[in-house]
Chain A
Amino acid sequence: MTDSTESPDLQRRSGLTRLKEGTYGGFFAACAAITLLTTVAIIVTLLSDAVAFFSQVPITEFLTSTSWSPNPRGGGQTFGIVALVIGTLTVTITAAFVAIPVGTLTAIYLSEYATPNARSILKPLLEILAGIPTVVYGYFALVYITPALKATLFPEMSTFNALSASLMVGIMTIPMVSSISEDAMSAVPDDLRQAGYGLGATKFEVSTGIVVPASISGIASSYILAVSRAIGETMIVVVAMGAQARMPTVGETVLGIPFINPADVLLDSGMTITVAMVQIAGGDLTGGTLPYDAMFALGLTLFVVTLVMNVLSDIIAERYREEY
């Protein structure tokens, strides 16, 4: 068979070469590990101070008390997240009222109606909406939107209010809804559309009756992501909404369901979780004090809520990816 006089050298390379390869691989792995460490660091940082906080303020009080006043003049700090949650919900829901319909319609237009040319112009323009620094949006809300609303629709509006901040948050999150939803709609196979047209459906019927239901999980996941983004949004609300943790008056409807007059929360100033954090950070950063720890407790709340929403959105989105 073989004259193995000159059997080729197939041994592993010399030490230096292998060391070189190993060094590069190790370096890349180490860099990749930094992303994991970041998550760990976030959790540890948040937890360590939050635990210190909850050892002094019972978690039940934190979750149920309606008064937020970390640095009162006369003493007697209270740390109740409820007022902040109401502020955050106000902004999030109002922003969703803007971003969800507009974003969905935009996605339908881009995916079903727009010519390739129009799409290539509209998509980058929409991305700009997400690229504007949020402090600039906040400034717009404070300096242009609020006076404009005050002069026209709501003369009783206060300088700092939830409505203009929420409108800006909504506009900022439009591209989030539109781009993910459009991806989902574009992933719907053309066969389904053709089947609809074959049955004599109009384009409107195909878009709303076939494409949207077929991509519903992708659309839903985009909504969740947009809402999660709105919950974490900081600068717009800090600049335009003011910093007054207020409990709105809760009325009761006929059926005994608690009811809050929207104008009560929208036209006046309020405070979100993020604003409360920024407000504490503006004063005291050296650590060890109760408000400092409270900041981390709020951060932890925010982190957990957004994380849960992202994971949820991921799970839902996974479903549509599997379908096609």
Chain B
Amino acid sequence: MATDTDTARIEGFGEVSRVRGIIFEYLSLGASVLGIFALAVLLVYVTIDAFDLAGTSPLWLLTYFVTLVVPFLAFCLYSARDREVTRRAVTVAGGGLVAVAAVFTAIETFVGQIPRLNWQLAYLFVVVAPLTGYLVYMGARGRPGAVGFGLVGRLIGGAAIGLAFSVLFLVFDERLWFLAYTLGIVPGLFAYAYGQLRNSSTAVTAALPVSLVGVVLAVFVRDVLRTYPTTTFIYLWTLAIPIAAAGALVVNARGSRTAALAAGGVPLALAAVVGLFGRAIGLGVGGPNALLVIALAGVPVAVYLHRVFDVGEGVTGLGLPVLLVGGALAGALVVETFGIPTPNSWVSGTFLTEAPSRNARDAGLYPAIVGSVIIIAMVAVLSFVLGVATSVFLEEYTADSGVVGALTRLLQINIANLAAVPSVVYGLLGLGLFANLLGFGFGTAVTVSLTLSLLILPITIISAQEAIRSVPDDLRRGSDAMGATRWQTTKNVVLPEAFPGILTGTILALGRAIGETAPLIMVGAATTVFSAPSSLFSKFSAMPMQIYAWANFPQAEFRYGVVAAGVITLLTILVGMNGTAILLRNRAERGS
């Protein structure tokens, strides 16, 4: 795009003044970072407030800096194995310390106190945080770093999904799920697998009807049957075992049968033992949720370990979780021994697991988190199905001209306009249509999910369309020329290629849904509920609703503490989701 004009400066031709140009360039650079900078400052402050860092003793910060941050950064440097990176990191860390301390002291002396900031915190945010980001980026390029981050990611992601599942079963009937799974999904899968193995197209075709019949049957049997297995058993049979089997299949496809058994079996056994007997044998953890978390984190980790050992590179990276946990424990030990005062963080175990309260220190976000998880799960399913189906229709099934073409254009314009309708208006739609006319109730999960699904549907469709459009036409024509029907081409060629892109777009759109507040207010979602919802039609709150409610509290403890903690929780979940989406996209781009 840009053509260099610096060569114009030749002696003898005179000189054209560049002053305006240079000022303009820096002005526009400044503008580019202005918004980002403002947001960064605000995020720093909300972090300080949420973790009560302003009142933290510098010794506490120093302890964890030494036991946790420095080893982690060293790990990244080790992984990057680049002398230049190491040199740069040490210079920035050291030089930054001096610079920040000097500048900060100067400001405090000549200008005045900066509220809730001291030079230690400033160093942390201005130097250490960006440096960590940079080193994580560089470290992830080396094998050990990639392996370490991959492992930690699977541990955290698996555990988060496990917890999300357990939350979903607060409102979804696990016994009905048990029946539907046993009577419908398992027979259907068997029919499908049999058909694939024996090349029997009848069996493959029969899979879907078999499943449907089973699910319908389950609905009828649900109230007839009296006795059911315990929740732990249900989770074990319906979730842990299939996940372990899937993991084993993945490893098996890579060639090793023994390793496959181990990768599926070991986490499954561990999950089963802890889930069923954990409490009894005095582990302190146990029950259905422990089983879910162990199975969902364990199986991907086992599969991953197999691959890492198979490839044999960067095995040292597997020590990263040990390094982190060890660092945290060491820090805790030092803090304990020397009696260093710990900060009174607002983000804490209690905050995440307790109900809201009038007393700021007891207030928690748990019911709102549960509400958000349930809503997001439902919105994800609805908007994914609708979004993919619509985009497939628009990209693969329509024509460019004639009546169909005109209809397609109408749909396209309509979707573009829907994407720009203010979210309050969607709230009115939800209120008028779902809550009042169809009677799904004010502020129930159903009403909220339907409303939010429609709200993000245009965004999902537009991104899915882009993903589908990026599939090369060569492949489509290749498949068509083989005598594939439109659906066969779509299913076998287009969708598999477009899938990562579609998934990324959907997750990014869900990020929008998780933060939406105005439509929730309009459909009457509760600002505050004191217990987790127990059915899809009970009163719901969601994280942004709770934040909205707390932000109106006049007490400083709420304003600067509880709400900040809520904001940090919400943003963390958002960053996690978007980070996953971006990783998926990068991976797909590298893969193709």
Contact = CB atoms under 8 A, between A and B. Distances in A.
A and B touch in their complex, CB below 8 angstroms: yes
A42 B390 contact: no
Contacts of B1: 111-112, 186, 190, 193
A145 B398 CA distance: 50
Interface string B7-46: 0100000001010110011011111111110110010011
A225 B421 CA distance: 11
A57 interface: no
Contacts of A126: 32, 35-36
B442 A285 contact: yes
Interface stretch (B170-178, B305-313, B543-551): B543-551
Contacts of A306: 420-422, 425
A170 B131 CA distance: 30
A136 B547 contact: yes
A208 B20 CA distance: 11
Nearest to B582: A124
B424 A274 contact: yes
Nearest to B8: A200
A302 B34 CA distance: 30
Contacts of A139: 547, 551, 563, 567
B517 interface: yes
Interface in B386-439: 386, 389-390, 392-394, 397, 410-411, 413-418, 420-429, 431-433, 435-436
Interface stretch (B139-147, B329-337, B508-516): B508-516
A32 B389 contact: yes
Q: Which of A24, A49, A126, A134 has the most CB of B within 10 A?
A: A24
Nearest to A130: B512
B35 A129 contact: yes
A54 interface: no
B486 interface: yes
B432 A296 contact: yes
Contacts of B559: 142-143
A39 B418 contact: yes
Interface residues of B, number: 91
Interface in A15-65: 17, 20-21, 24-25, 27-32, 34-36, 38-39, 41-42, 45-46, 48-49
Contacts of A249: none
A163 interface: no
Given A112-B1, A129-B39, A285-B524, A106 B32 contact: yes
B80 to A, nearest CB: 18
A271 interface: no
A203 B1 CA distance: 11
Interface string B535-562: 0000000001001100110000001100
B418 A38 contact: yes
B191 interface: no
B420 A229 contact: yes
Contacts of B36: 122, 125-126, 128-129
Contacts of B46: 140, 144
A202 interface: yes
A74 interface: no
A133 B570 contact: yes
B421 A135 contact: no
Nearest to A24: B487
Contacts of A111: 1
Interface stretch (A78-86, A252-260, A307-315): A307-315
Contacts of A140: 42, 46
B574 interface: yes
A128 B575 CA distance: 10
A165 interface: no
Given A105-B32, A125-B36, A132-B39, A231 B422 contact: yes
Contacts of B502: none
Contacts of B574: 131, 133
Interface in A82-105: 101-103, 105
Contacts of A41: 429, 433
Given A39-B417, A232-B423, A310-B416, A21 B486 contact: yes
A210 to B, nearest CB: 12
Given A233-B422, A296-B428, A101 B31 contact: yes
A28 B390 contact: yes
Contact of A31 (B28, B393, B431): B393
A317 to B, nearest CB: 10
A271 to B, nearest CB: 14
B45 A144 contact: yes
Nearest to A101: B31
Given A174-B35, A202-B5, A133 B416 contact: no
Contacts of A232: 421-425
B433 A45 contact: yes
Nearest to B408: A32
A323 B515 CA distance: 38
Contacts of A286: 436
Nearest to A136: B567
Interface stretch (B222-230, B277-285, B454-462): B454-462
Given A28-B392, A35-B418, A112-B2, A134 B515 contact: yes
Interface in A196-210: 197, 200, 202-205, 207-208
A85 B173 CA distance: 48
A171 interface: yes
Given A28-B392, A174-B35, A35 B458 contact: yes
B122 to A, nearest CB: 17
B485 interface: yes
Contacts of B423: 232, 234
A295 interface: yes
B521 interface: yes
User: Which interface residue of A17, A28, A36, A140 has the most chain B CB atoms within 10 A?
Assistant: A28
Contacts of A45: 428-429, 432-433
B252 interface: no
A214 interface: no
B121 interface: no
Given A21-B486, A133-B515, A203-B21, A102 B34 contact: yes
A38 B418 CA distance: 8
Contacts of A34: 386, 390, 457
Given A278-B521, A302-B424, A303-B425, A171 B2 contact: no
B431 A285 contact: yes
A282 interface: yes
A193 B24 contact: no
Given A113-B29, A204-B20, A277-B428, A136 B570 contact: yes
Contact of A135 (B2, B415, B548): B548
Nearest to A31: B389
Given A281-B522, A303-B421, A143 B28 contact: no
A71 interface: no
A239 interface: yes
Contacts of A114: 32
Contact of A102 (B31, B454, B560): B31
27 contacts: A25-B397, A36-B411, A36-B414, A101-B31, A105-B27, A105-B30, A105-B31, A110-B32, A113-B25, A122-B36, A129-B39, A131-B508, A133-B515, A134-B515, A134-B518, A135-B548, A136-B571, A142-B559, A202-B5, A202-B8, A202-B16, A207-B24, A229-B420, A229-B422, A278-B518, A299-B428, A314-B413
Task: Give the 5 A-B residue pairs with the shortest CB-CB distance, closest first.
Answer: A232-B422, A133-B515, A204-B21, A105-B31, A31-B389
Given A105-B30, A134-B518, 13 more contacts: A25-B487, A38-B429, A126-B32, A135-B547, A135-B548, A203-B2, A232-B422, A274-B422, A281-B521, A285-B435, A302-B422, A303-B425, A307-B421
Interface of A: 17, 20-21, 24-25, 27-32, 34-36, 38-39, 41-42, 45-46, 48-49, 101-103, 105-106, 108-114, 122, 124-126, 128-129, 131-136, 138-140, 142-144, 171, 174-175, 178, 186, 190, 193-194, 197, 200, 202-205, 207-208, 225, 228-229, 231-235, 238-239, 274, 277-278, 281-282, 285-287, 295-296, 299, 302-303, 306-307, 310-311, 314
